[in-house]
Amino acid sequence: MEHSECSCEQCQLRTIFFSHIVETQLNNICSLKRETTFEIGDSITKENTPIREFMYIKKGLVKLSKTAPDGKDQIISFAKPFDFVSLLSIFSESKYQYSVTAIQRTTVCKLDLRIIKEFACKNALFAMDLITAVSKASDSIILENLTIRRKNLKGRVAHLLLYFSTHIFRSNTFILPISRREIAEYIGMTTENVIRTLSEFKKDNIIKSEGKEITITNMKRLQSVSEFG
Amino acid sequence: MEHSECSCEQCQLRTIFFSHIVETQLNNICSLKRETTFEIGDSITKENTPIREFMYIKKGLVKLSKTAPDGKDQIISFAKPFDFVSLLSIFSESKYQYSVTAIQRTTVCKLDLRIIKEFACKNALFAMDLITAVSKASDSIILENLTIRRKNLKGRVAHLLLYFSTHIFRSNTFILPISRREIAEYIGMTTENVIRTLSEFKKDNIIKSEGKEITITNMKRLQSVSEFG
DNA sequence: CGCGGCTTTGATGTTCATCAAGTAAAGTGG
DNA sequence: CCACTTTACTTGATGAACATCAAAGCCGCG
């Protein structure tokens, strides 16, 4: 974890997320921000710790997870910049319900949550922007979970590969930022069966893979497996 | 579906949900409300239809569901009064992502969504209340789904029985408001296996059941099945 | 270098879905 | 109101899908 600075003037989030905050107030907010960079595997927030900050991802990739009573992790979702993942329970709970962990080098901008709440209490349009963001973030998690639940093992693995290929990397070739075990924790299957499925995709020439490097060689086939599997 | 009226003066939701709206404005809002009563099985909202209204449940019980491309339904959650289920995607989407159906005689209060949005845009404290409600509603759905996913068949059925017993009816004896198939659609198993599990619970003297009437006779045992199963 | 974590494959067993068949209950039209 | 159709419920038999257990190779790291 390291601290760095990046100019607020060029921040794209500024126009998207704070569009209803006037310039003078915004500069005020920006002057209070703390920017932090997390390395792969670094914990950004931990479940059951108090929520004190409002955070957004400027760069990188994170996973959202929760540890079950038996010690096993469940991955809830992944988030990239503009996904505003830290919105999830910050307005309903005083403690994090989920952990957030960097799965790529990730830069996060933090603001004191009290300041954000104060602003929201005074600026209704900003509050409305927050509602929309919260609503979108939760909606996509709920929908994605439903989608995964109705697929079988192969369909789920195919779905995950397509998710990273189209949503995250926008390329047929990419470095999987997560381990086989993490895939399993996300799709709700065992590590062994995830590996078996990937091997099978490889044997059937649907993908090429070497370690974490994946190339989708037969996109149509993979899509069909995801849809009907 | 029938229309009726119930005095706003006694409405409990008034104090909870509209606590930051001044009396005169509130009376304004209340005068625009439309109250509707739905019978069991009646559709309250249908997925893919435009969202025009802000709704809250005053009485009864509903299920939230979505139809998969193959025609099979998935039940996302159940909601009782004060659960504000219609909050789910109304601020992020223009169409309902989910269907809401009455599983008990249910009374719903409807307000033009534009009016609510207008109020929220002017009244930041009200908007903050909305954020909290949206956040709570989605959080509990996401958490509940995670909880169910890590249980096996018996654990899931036990969990559902406990959910209705403790959350909804607050009694060891209750009339299940849903069919075996709906239980299956909620916990993600087949109808046959839900029935088999209930029969087994009955044989093991964990529950008594006759049709939809359920009595939990061995609560500790059922809790243990839910926890470890 | 050795240890632990990640990956891989195979063998085995359990859990659960599917298929089939029948009863009961509830809605439908003549 | 009764025959008819449909939907819900139930049980059993079978097989497929998936978890578990075991063993070994690989890689990074202290």
pLDDT in tens, A170-198: 999 999 999 999 999 999 999 999 999 99
Q: Which residues of B touch A87 (CB under 8 A)?
A: 135
User: Which of A30, A59, A55, A33 lies closest to A44 in space, CA to CA?
Assistant: A55
Q: What is the pLDDT of residue B86?
A: 78
Across the interface, do A92 and B68 touch by the CB < 8 Å criterion?
no
Residue A97 has pLDDT above 80, yes or no: yes
User: Between chains, do B90 and A149 touch, taking CB under 8 Å as contact?
Assistant: no
pLDDT > 70 in chain B, percent: 93
Confidence label for A83 from pLDDT (cuts 50, 70 and 90)? confident
% of residues, chain A, pLDDT over 70: 93
> Residue with CA nearest D16 C1'?
A152
- pTM for this predicted structure: 0.93
A139 and B138 in contact by Cβ < 8 A? yes
**Nearest Cβ partner of A145 from B88, B130, B145?**
B145
B31 Cβ contact partners less than 8 Å away, ≥ 6 residues apart: none
Q: Which two tokens stand for residue A39?
A: 């390395």
Residues contacting B136, CB < 8 A, separation 6+ = A92
What does the pLDDT read at residue A87? 77
Q: What's the confidence (pLDDT) of residue B93?
A: 85
Question: Which residue of B132, B140, B142, B223 to mutate against A (max A Cβ within 10 Å)?
Answer: B142
The partner residue sitting opposite A131, judged by closest CB among B72, B134, B139, is B134
Contact A132, B134 (CB under 8 A): no
* Residues B188-209: tens digit of each pLDDT: 999 999 999 999 999 999 999 9
Residue B4 has pLDDT above 70, yes or no: no
Question: Integer distance in angstroms from CA A190 to C1' D21?
Answer: 13
Residue A176: the pLDDT is 97
Tell me how far apart the alpha carbons of residues A60 and A38 are, in angstroms, rounded to a whole number.
9
Whether the pLDDT of residue A19 is over 80: the answer is: no
On chain B, the residues whose CB falls within 8 A of the CB of A88 are 135, 138-139, 142
Question: A129 CA to D3 C1', in Å?
Answer: 61
Nucleotide nearest to A181 (CA to C1'): C6
Q: Are B78 and B62 within 8 A, CB to CB?
A: yes
- Could you tell me which chain A residue has the CA closest to the CA of B64? A142
CB pairs under 8 A between A and B: 120
Interval A35-68: pLDDT, tens: 999 999 999 999 999 999 999 899 999 999 999 9
Q: What distance in Å separates residue A3's CA from the closest CA in chain B?
A: 30
Over residues A18-34, the mean pLDDT reads 78
pLDDT of residue A15: 67
Q: Three-class SS of residue B215?
A: strand
- Summary mean pLDDT of chain A: 90
- State residue A16's pLDDT score: 66
| CA–C1' nearest nucleotide, residue A191 | C7
Closest to B6 measured CA to CA, from B44, B35, B39, B38: B35
Q: In B, what residues contact A, Cβ < 8 A?
A: 66, 68, 70, 72, 74, 76, 87-93, 97, 117, 120-128, 130-132, 134-136, 138-139, 141-143, 145-146, 149-150, 188
pLDDT for B212-227, tens place per residue? 999 999 999 999 999 9
**Using the CA of B192, which nucleotide's C1' is the nearest one?**
D10
Residue of A nearest to B75 (CA): A146
* Mutation site for A-interface testing, chosen from B92, B140, B227, B228 by largest number of A Cβ within 10 Å: B92
How would residue A7 be classed by pLDDT, with cut points 50, 70 and 90?
Answer: low
Query: What was the pLDDT predicted at B24?
Result: 76
Q: What does R_g of chain B's alpha carbons equal in angstroms?
A: 19
Does the structure show a pLDDT above 80 at B173? yes
Mean pLDDT of A80-90: 83
**Among B76, B89, B136, beta carbon nearest to A92:** B136
Mean pLDDT of B112-121: 89
For B60-101, how does the pLDDT look when each residue is reduced to its tens digit (9 = 90+)?
Answer: 999 999 999 988 999 999 999 988 877 788 888 899 999 999
3-state secondary structure of B165: helix
- The lowest-confidence range among A4-18, A111-125, A170-184, B75-89 is A4-18
Task: Tell me the shortest Cα–Cα distance from A113 to chain B, in angstroms.
Answer: 13
Q: Per residue in A127-160, pLDDT tens?
A: 898 888 889 999 999 999 999 999 999 999 999 9
Q: Which positions on chain D have an atom < 7 Å from some protein CB? A: 8-13, 17-22
The b-or-e profile of A26-47 (16+ CB within 10 A means b, else e) is beebbeebebbbbeeebebbee
Per-residue pLDDT at B162 exceeds 80: yes
Q: Quick one: tokens of A134?
A: 């919260």
A171 residue type, one letter: S
Percentage of chain A beyond pLDDT 90 is 66
* Model pLDDT for residues A151-171, shown as the tens digit of each residue: 999 999 999 999 999 999 999
What pLDDT is stored for residue B7 in this prediction?
Answer: 65
Work out the mean pLDDT of chain B and round it to a whole number.
Answer: 90
